Amino acid sequence: MSIDRYCSLYLYTFVTEATAKPDGQKADSKPIICIEAGHQAKANLKLEPNAPGSKTMKAKVMGGTTGVQTKKPEYKLTLEVALKLEKALKDDYEVKMVRRTHDVNLSNSERAIFCNKAKADVMVRLHADGSDNAKVTGMTFFYPSLDNKYTKPISKKSMEVAEIVAQQVIKQTGAKSKGVKPRGDLTGFNWLKVPSVLIEMGFMTNKEEDVLMSKPEYQDKIVAGIKKGLDAYYKSK
């Protein structure tokens, strides 16, 4: 670290503290959104508990699906959208990124713990779907289940966020909605202490939807929908 870098960091700390409210809260308290681009370049099939203290073991991080037409792996698509989402949110939210590169080794529990430590208000998880049936299309919005002791405390708020985000993303993209659904089996949800929505942005196993999801204009629509959804959620609070 250069001296310059050190000084700018020091100055930042100074300014932040100087503008802090007397109760210790930052004057500028934007909601914290933790963005997770699903998967990574190399799957890690070693096992980890699928919830804190659980004996059920699941792969640390799966490889994800691949575009049937674009041949693009899911981890690349999810990061493309994640980086756009970061840009779109950064003025109105404090954004934390689980990853910015493909060459990481982060298990699903580690991703959840990262967002817990960031004290995120919402974790937005980006994925794309795959199916044996090439005709299947549409977006699914998952939230942590109410019927699971691990995810129960974060379920209600997650569902509220998921519903409002789903509404806006579908409105912006015109995609078919496959619904807003609870999940109690995902390691990435079970380790969370903060609310979350996981967006399956479409099916990479459908030629048309695969191509569409890689189009920058379509990605912008997904991102605009997520932003509008979060804005609407925080406006209603």
Q: Which residues bind Zn ion (CB under 5 A)?
A: 38, 64, 127
How far apart are CB 160 and Zn ion at their closest, in Å? 23
Half-sphere exposure of 50 (CA within 13 A, CB side): 11
The nearer residue to Zn ion, 72 or 127, going by C-beta atoms, is 127
Residue whose CB is nearest to Zn ion in the complex, by number: 127
Q: How far is the CB of 62 from Zn ion (least distance, A)?
A: 7
Length of the chain in residues, anyone? Answer: 237
Residue with Cβ nearer Zn ion (64 or 225): 64
Closer residue to Zn ion, CB minimum distance, 38 or 73: 38
Q: How far is the CB of 96 from Zn ion (least distance, A)?
A: 20
59 or 232: CB nearest Zn ion: 59
Burial tier of 70 (Cβ tally within 10 Å: 0-12, 13-18, 19+): middle
CA distances from residue 227 to 70, 82, 85, 197, 202 in whole angstroms, order as listed: 27, 12, 8, 13, 18
How far apart are CB 152 and Zn ion at their closest, in Å?
24
Report the candidate in 189, 186, 199 with the shortest Cα–Cα distance to residue 225.
199
